[in-house]
Amino acid sequence: MAEFDLIRQLQQRICAADAPWRSSCRVGIGDDAAVLESPAGRQFVVCTDSLVQAVHFPVDTPAAAVGHKALAVNLSDLAAMGAEPAWFFLSLTLPEPDTVWLEGFMQGMAALARECGIYLAGGDLSSGPLNVCVAAIGLVDTGCYLTRSGAAAGDLIAVSGRPGAAAHALDCLKEGRKASAADRLALEFPTPRIALGQCLPGVASACIDLSDGLLADLGHIMEASAVGAVLELSSLPCPASLAPLPECERWSLQLSGGDDYELCFTLPPGSSDRLDEIRRRSGVELTVIGQITDDPGLSVRAPDGSDFEPARSGYEHFRGAGG
Ligand code: ADP
Ligand code: MG
């Protein structure tokens, strides 16, 4: 397929006709750059994230999952900042224009773009090893964004959903075992917590999305906020697919596994009654799993009160998982 045919197809398939911010994209695909209207009283929240084959996803990942996930990880970053998704850009590096693969890829990306109302405003195409880079732009009311740096001693630590299933799927695939359907769905089609993120400004004191693993990402909140934390493993909600595992193995997956794309946030203890209302509005399970402390450092408490040391740490590029 020729380059411009492919661009036209991407435009036809992925640009959501009813995206709320479509008309604010005054110039989109087809010119040298996009022109976006800046809405009065709002600020832009901008992020970018790449998916590189064999680094971020196994070589045999279905094309629809690659399309979904490349957009989902960016939507998750917007959610963590409390932003409403508006526009995105897609830079696609392909070894060859494989029409079957592209069909799946576009279907996966288009379905999520539609669901989240985000509009494709431009991008780039080149040939080379498979690499999907998305940049996304969201909007917040001026000043109403979340950061990692506002957590204070005494704040509660909450998490959405049930972390661990994606890491379990990845372990199974790496070891040549078959992952369960639920775990595979968590790994390949993560759900960015967009509605939840937009409920949190004004309530949460700090927020992050879980991409590198709960401990590593909570560690980023601790560092940015200059605080410590205590996590209670008895409170950590367990995905059904992990329930049969020995506790130590399950906790390690849940704490250090990564790829969850859940939100972890802190909130003042006096706001805990707001959690029910946020649960209702966002439709997402929320669980208090610990508390922020003055003492620096993180302690993870097992149900018997002892300290738990996970067998592996979170994912870091240039070091590898579990190092
Ligand atoms: P230039 O050479 O000036 O950078 P391109 O030929 O790369 O322009 O792109 C032409 C138009 O097509 C631009 O508006 C660009 O945003 C759009 N475009 C290119 N690749 C993609 C893509 N993968 N997804 C969406 N739009 C794209
Ligand atoms: Mg140009």
Out of 11, 89, 124, give the residue to mutate to test ligand 1, the one with the largest number of ligand atoms within 8 Å of its CB: 124
Give Rg (Cα) of the chain.
20
H or E element, residue 211: none
Which residue's alpha carbon is at the smallest distance from atom 1 of ligand 1?
32
pLDDT in tens, 27-80: 999 999 999 999 999 999 999 999 999 999 999 999 999 999 999 999 999 999
Residue 311: predicted pLDDT: 73
Residue nearest to atom 24 of ligand 1 (CA): 123
Q: How far is the CA of 70 from the centre of ligand 2 (A)?
A: 24
Distance from the alpha carbon of residue 87 to the mean position of ligand 1, in angstroms: 15
Ligand nearest to the CA of 2: 1
Residues in the ligand 1 pocket, defined by CB under 6 Å = 7, 10, 29-32, 90, 92, 120, 122-125
Query: What span, in angstroms and rounded, lies between the C-alpha atoms of 71 and 11?
Result: 15
b/e sequence 272-293, b meaning 16+ C-beta within 10 Å:
eebbeebbeebebebeebbbbb
Residue having the nearest C-alpha atom to atom 8 of ligand 1: 32
Please state, in angstroms and rounded to a whole number, the distance separating the CA atoms of residues 204 and 189: 26
Query: Distance between CA atoms of 38 and 36, rounded to whole angstroms?
Result: 6
> pLDDT digits over 154-211, tens only?
999 999 999 999 999 999 999 999 999 999 999 999 999 999 999 999 999 999 999 9
Lay out the sheet containing 119-127: strands in order across: 42-52, 131-141, 84-94, 119-127
* Ligand 1 centroid, distance to 88 Cα (angstroms): 13
Whether the model pTM is above 0.75: yes
Interval 89-132: pLDDT, tens: 999 999 998 999 999 999 999 999 999 999 999 999 999 999 99
Calculate how far, in angstroms, residue 32's C-alpha sits from the geometric centre of ligand 2: 4
